């Protein structure tokens, strides 16, 4: 028996930003087809991709799996950097607030992106390494 889906419900889809299969909220549908979804992890809105279309078939030619591996590499590097950064972070642990100034080494808990380490600070902003990628956040730094 198939479950009827509608906008506002949660489905599992491949997130183009997080590069993972994650829970998404259905934004738009055409008939019974899901067209647009919003990632619950990073908040990005993109077209729906189900597992079948993104699943890699092993042993399907070396060139193909090589390309797939290459595409996954930057993410792995970011996760490794993030894990190392989290292990070494000696700063304060703070909830993200754009009215707050941050220092290098601080750990920011962001409601949408999770925990991140402050890498650099600039006037009114700071660069923060999150598990999926580096982002520049507004801050009260002077
Ligand atoms: Zn995402």
d(CA 137, CA 119): 11
Distance of CA 96 to the CA centre of its chain: 17
d(CA 110, CA 131): 11
Residues with CB under 5 A from ligand 1 (ion): 15, 17-18, 39, 41-42
- pLDDT tens for each residue of 43-87: 999 999 875 544 455 544 445 555 555 555 566 788 889 998 998
How remote is the CA of residue 21 from the centroid of ligand 1, in Å?
9
- pLDDT tens for each residue of 80-115: 899 989 988 888 999 999 999 999 999 999 999 999
84, 90, 92, 93 alpha-carbon torsion, rounded to 10°: 30
How remote is the CA of residue 42 from the centroid of ligand 1, in Å?
4
Question: Average pLDDT of 12-24?
Answer: 90
pTM of the model: 0.48
């Amino acid at each position: 028996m198939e479950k009827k889906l509608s906008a506002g419900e949660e489905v599992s889809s491949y997130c183009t930003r997080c590069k993972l299969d994650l829970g998404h909220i259905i934004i738009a549908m055409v008939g019974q087809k899901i067209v647009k979804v919003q990632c619950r992890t990073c908040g990005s809105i993109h077209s729906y991709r189900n597992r079948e279309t993104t699943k890699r078939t092993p042993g399907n030619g070396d060139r193909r799996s090589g390309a797939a591996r290459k595409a996954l590499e930057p993410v792995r590097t970011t996760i490794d950097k993030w894990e190392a950064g989290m292990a070494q972070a000696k700063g304060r642990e703070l909830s993200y607030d754009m009215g707050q100034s941050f220092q290098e080494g601080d750990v920011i808990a962001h409601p949408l992106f999770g925990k991140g380490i402050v890498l650099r600070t600039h006037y009114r902003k700071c660069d923060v390494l999150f598990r999926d990628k580096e982002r520049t956040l507004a801050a009260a730094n002077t």
